[in-house]
């Protein structure tokens, strides 16, 4: 149950404000801030810290400084077989799925000190959690969100991917033109990947997810 405790305690990754005004979570001892990965992705600031990884805002220097999100496996987790395997599964899951309601993946690699990372789409929006109030939501809005989530999960399941940690914090609502909203499901960090090409799956899996969900 150790992972469940870590998962419950992790920070929510907020991308609900423009990158230029997003609150900084920079650690002066964080050696990745200011690093240029593969001569392309400039790490600007930390967005959140998870049970076995950290997420950063970065700019893609080869795409006119397009904002991207870089998820990096924590240095002390690189030798943990389970954590390393799940990180590879997340990369595989995101590369298998091509759906407008699931966050896109652009690239992956390894830092100079051996930490695997994933480069993903930056979602300019708010987490679903921010819209849930004691009074509830408008039926029409809720139905639209649930419909998009259902289509995204169906696409993932058809690709042999089970998210296993679906909750309001992992559902982003991207701001579109005309006040429209598009669901983006994020964080496939504990996903199960059927017939994985990057892992034999021989390592015993652990209980994962968030207890309340």
Distance CA 69, CA 26 (A): 15
Helix or strand holding residue 137 (H, E): none
> Do 162 and 112 meet the contact criterion of CB atoms below 8 Å apart?
no
> Do 54 and 48 meet the contact criterion of CB atoms below 8 Å apart?
yes
- The angle subtended at Cα 85 by Cα 205 and Cα 153, nearest 5°, is 75
Which residues are known to be catalytic?
165
Residue 205 has a CB neighbour count (10 Å cut-off) of: 12
> Do 159 and 196 meet the contact criterion of CB atoms below 8 Å apart?
no
Please give the structure tokens belonging to residue 7. 């998962």
Q: What is the dihedral of CA 7, 186, 191, 48, to 10 degrees?
A: -30
């Amino acid at each position: 149950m150790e992972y469940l405790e870590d998962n419950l305690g992790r920070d929510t990754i907020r991308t609900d404000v423009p990158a230029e005004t997003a609150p900084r979570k920079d650690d002066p001892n964080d050696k990745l801030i200011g690093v240029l990965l593969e001569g392309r992705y400039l790490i600007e600031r930390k967005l959140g810290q998870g049970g076995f990884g950290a997420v950063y805002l970065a700019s893609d220097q080869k795409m006119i400084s397009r904002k991207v999100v870089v998820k990096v496996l924590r240095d002390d987790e690189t030798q943990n077989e389970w954590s390393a395997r799940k990180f590879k599964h997340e990369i595989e899951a995101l590369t298998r799925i091509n759906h407008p309601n699931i966050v896109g993946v652009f690239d992956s690699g390894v830092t100079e000190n051996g930490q695997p990372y994933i480069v993903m789409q930056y979602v300019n929006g708010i987490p679903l959690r921010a819209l849930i109030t004691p009074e509830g939501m408008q039926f029409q809005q809720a139905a639209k969100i649930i419909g998009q989530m259902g289509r995204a999960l169906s696409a993932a399941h058809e690709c042999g991917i089970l998210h296993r940690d679906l909750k309001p914090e992992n559902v982003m609502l991207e701001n579109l033109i005309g006040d429209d909203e598009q669901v983006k499901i994020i964080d496939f960090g504990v996903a199960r990947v059927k017939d994985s090409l990057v892992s034999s799956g021989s390592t015993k899996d652990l209980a994962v997810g968030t207890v309340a969900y």
